[in-house]
Amino acid sequence: GILIAPLALAIIFVGNVTVALALWPAFVYWIYESIIKTRKLGLLLKLVAALCAPLPLVLWPAAVICGSVLTGLGYGFFTPLVATFEAVGQGRTNKAHSCILDGSFSTVKGSCTVVRDFTDWCYHSCPAYIADFRDGEAIDGPYNISRLLEIPTCFVAAVLGVIVDVPLFAIISLIKSPFMLVKGWERLLDDLIVSQEGTCVKVVCVPFAGLAILLWPLVVVAAVVSGVFTSIFVGLYAAVIVHKENSFKSGLAYIVAMGAEFDEQTNDVLYLREGSYVLPDPEKGHSQKAVAKQPAPEQKPSEAGMIIPQLSASKSLKQSIQDVKMVQVWEHMFKSCCEHSKDLIHKGVLKTSDLEEYLSDKSKNKFIAVKLPAYSLLMNLIFSAKSSSTGLVLYSGLELTVFNRPEDRLLDWFFEPLLVLKEQIRAAKLHPSEERYLEKLTLLSSDAEWDNGAIAPQDNVRKGELEALSRRIQGISTSVSRFPTFRRRYENFIKSLLVY
């Protein structure tokens, strides 16, 4: 890790900073063009947006520099370390050779992949988001100019949020840091000496357990620093609360409530006393008083134990690695898309010229970039709706439910909407001809030449429901296609289809 980290840092830092600086003039042009041409803002709001735009444009290169340094150091150090751990634990004959080489080339290659994904996000995804804002529909009704008077109030709320929450979060973090240090050492030592489910499952893990104990103070320091850094954005969000609620009082309540929430959450993580020590929660104060006035319901002895939370045993590093299943979800999604694409090739709907056109100009070919993944997603939703599953059934029968889905933030944004769409399709009880019509509508259009046995519903309400489902699925597919990781994988998938 010490040898590879500087090389990974150099690749990520030079690549990301070069891309950010090279595209910075284009970002300036795109943003001001969208402000001028958009119909979502009135003349006065356009003037305010034009005056405020230089601030994020100036901060953007600085954010890229800081993020590249942290990403390069973290990725370059910990990835070879984990690879070394896997090489030692796999029972290889030449462990010294495996410890040195395993993870070295893959880390360098992964650093180049990080730069590639960042380039895709800057060059393809960001312009797409800006274009959506520029080409958006105009707001119905007259512009509410009086809302502009909230800008000074929002600014004051943001300043107060930073002034109050940053020192408050810092004080809470510093006070709780000794507890985190002692309890962390206690858990690590317990895993090392007693537990059979912790870091030290095998004898070869003892050095890594000792390294974790030695590095735990650095983890505590990093937690304190991250808490203080996060408090800046938490305080700035008070301006959003004032704007949404149209109340300065709500912004002040939010500032105090977030301090109390942070205190309470840290107590829960460290298994300290429940609730906040000092700060009240404005949102919970009235409800707690109301609940206190009501008589508590009688509790059966058998239910008393359900309230007491039990501490779960810590997971080993190997178990933590196995718990990451997002890669499996991606693989099943692309396998499903591959099978459906091959079927479309056999039917003559998908042609080689379409695939070559996508590779030459990815931003304009919506048929391959958006509608083909949307068609595959629709087929999975229809199959899941027909099954008795409570979740989503992916390729080869993999069932994804609320209990076994990966804890991934990106998946959270789409999992619930997909479940809703699946239940809507199940409740609609589509006729086979309506299913064919929905497939045709999602992949091409209702008046396309593809004859798949689709019959448009005579009822306009039913037809509108199918069109709405098609638009929602295409919207989800559009959002997914803007992920940098998806773009890189999807391009490799299209190349494999050309070979097929």
Are 346 and 276 within one domain? no
Are 258 and 153 within one domain? yes
Are 119 and 238 within one domain? no
Which pLDDT belongs to residue 115? 92
Which pLDDT belongs to residue 332? 77
The H-or-E segment that residue 258 falls in is helix 248-269
Which pLDDT belongs to residue 31? 92
Domain finish residue from 95, 111, 137: 137
292 part of a folded domain = no
Are 253 and 355 within one domain? no
Which pLDDT belongs to residue 25? 93
Which pLDDT belongs to residue 32? 92
448 part of a folded domain = yes
Which pLDDT belongs to residue 26? 93
Are 475 and 343 within one domain? yes
Token readout for 466 is 């199918």
Beta bridge partners of 392: 400
Token readout for 294 is 């009501």
318 part of a folded domain = no
116 part of a folded domain = yes
Domain finish residue from 137, 158, 193: 137
> Cβ(253)–Cβ(283) under 8 Å?
yes
Domain finish residue from 82, 113, 137: 137
Which pLDDT belongs to residue 19? 94
Residue ranges making up the domain that contains 21? 1-137
Token readout for 291 is 């609940």
Which pLDDT belongs to residue 15? 93
Which pLDDT belongs to residue 293? 42
142 part of a folded domain = no
Cα 385 to chain center, whole Å? 26
Are 77 and 151 within one domain? no
Are 180 and 219 within one domain? yes
Which pLDDT belongs to residue 138? 66
- Look at strands 392-393 and 399-400 and give their pairing: antiparallel
Which pLDDT belongs to residue 409? 64
Are 115 and 198 within one domain? no
Ranges of H-type helices in 194-237: 206-236
Which pLDDT belongs to residue 163? 92
Which pLDDT belongs to residue 80? 78
Q: Give pLDDT < 70 ranges for the chain.
A: 1, 83-103, 138-148, 194-208, 275-327, 361-364, 395-396, 405-411, 446-449
Closest CA to 145 of 49, 33, 41: 41
Are 103 and 163 within one domain? no
Which pLDDT belongs to residue 18? 94
201 part of a folded domain = yes
Beta bridge partners of 393: 399
Residue 371: what are its φ and ψ, rounded to 5°?
Answer: -75, -35
Note the pTM of the prediction, 2 decimals.
Answer: 0.66
Are 366 and 487 within one domain? yes
Count of domains for the chain: 3
How far is 102 from 110, CA to CA, in rounded Å?
13
Are 424 and 448 within one domain? yes
Looking up tokens 């027909």 gives 386
277 part of a folded domain = yes
Are 152 and 93 within one domain? no
313 part of a folded domain = no
Which pLDDT belongs to residue 370? 85
- For CA atoms 265, 269, 275, 280, the dihedral sign is negative
